[in-house]
Chains A and B, each alone.
Chain A
Amino acid sequence: MIVVTCPVCGIKGDETDFHYGGQAHVRRPATTDPVNITDEEQRDYLFIRHNPKGLHFERWRCDRGCGKWFHAARDTVTLDFKAFYGITELPPVELQQQAKGPWADYFQSRAKAR
């Protein structure tokens, strides 16, 4: 039973008060361009997820509290949360820098886009 903290309302509680929402920062292609989506893009959007040993970024909802979605950075080995941040935000820069594998690629591509 892990402990989750909602960055919106500040409650810190058992994971049963929250809802896990899978990997964070998954882009929905149809929102920006509903016409030109290849089958591969759609496949990646629906099914392809990172499965890192270590730092991971995920979505949670304060299910029994304020009802808001938020992001969390969590170590999948120790289960320690490294940060909780807003649902429209990217993780703190130092965590982006610590990220490995596909996560590192993702944050680099986001940095370039800006």
Chain B
Amino acid sequence: MLEARFETPLANCEAATGTYVSLREIGERGMIDLRGSAGDKKFLAAAKAVLEVDLPKQPRTSATWGDIRVFWLSPDQWLITCPRARAQDLSEALSAELAGVHSLAVNVSDMRAIIRLEGEGVREVVMKGTSIDLTHGDYPPGSVRRMRFAEIAALLHVVEDNVIDIYVFRSYAHYAWEFLRKAARKGSEVRVFPKAV
């Protein structure tokens, strides 16, 4: 039997050296796009039955259970991330559990690239490409939002205070990678109210 060959979106990118925050691709996460109504109790219950965690209902938040994270995307859309190997099973389990409930679960593990930024000043690196204020307490760890980043659409996940994941559509991965490499170049450090607590 033939063996499938796997290649992440940034497989051919140039390494990020000489940056003041670290940059790396996270290729090992799978993703499921889940649509359903936050007001539909059956939907919420079925989703929880599979994911073992309540779907977050607060805008721009996420929920975590074990190796599953659920991002709020809109009142009727969530992005579930999980270990890549689990994505297909989880997606099928959701669809099965949600049979008869108005919903749509799609395995979109390959649709986005994830770039992890880590280090002191990571929020400001991102702010070179977005007008969102990430420095004033509105984006604690766990925060999620979609945004315009540089010239493209992106999703931001604040993992920890100094760790941010940027999700971009796969085809834009190199663009985002090159933008971030440049924004994080050593010598270009810039801080926003660095003394503020």
Contacts and interface: CB of A to CB of B under 8 A. Distances in A.
Direct A–B contact in the complex, CB atoms closer than 8 angstroms: yes
Interface of A: 8-11, 13-14, 16-17, 64-68
Interface string B28-52: 0000000000000000000000000
A10 B148 CA distance: 16
Interface residues of B, number: 13
A66 B75 contact: yes
Given A14-B131, A64-B153, A66-B59, A9 B74 contact: yes
Contacts, number: 42
A10 B145 CA distance: 11
Contacts of A11: 59-60, 145
A67 B74 contact: yes
A36 to B, nearest CB: 33
Contact of B147 (A8, A64, A67, A68): A64
B77 interface: yes
Contacts of B192: none
A68 B76 CA distance: 10
B148 A17 contact: yes
Interface of B: 59-60, 73-75, 77, 131-132, 145-148, 153
A9 B148 contact: no
Main secondary structure of the interface of A (DSSP, over half): loop
Please indicate which of the listed interface residues A10, A13, A68 has the most CB atoms of chain B within 10 Å of its own CB. Answer: A13
A34 to B, nearest CB: 26
Given A16-B131, A16-B148, A64-B153, 13 more contacts: A8-B74, A8-B75, A9-B60, A9-B75, A11-B59, A13-B132, A14-B148, A17-B131, A65-B145, A65-B146, A65-B147, A66-B146, A67-B146
Contacts of A13: 131-132, 147
Contacts of A16: 131, 148
Contacts of A17: 131, 147-148
Given A8-B74, A8-B75, A9-B60, A64 B146 contact: yes
Contacts of B77: 66-67
Contacts of A66: 59, 73-75, 77, 146
A62 to B, nearest CB: 8
Contacts of B148: 14, 16-17, 64
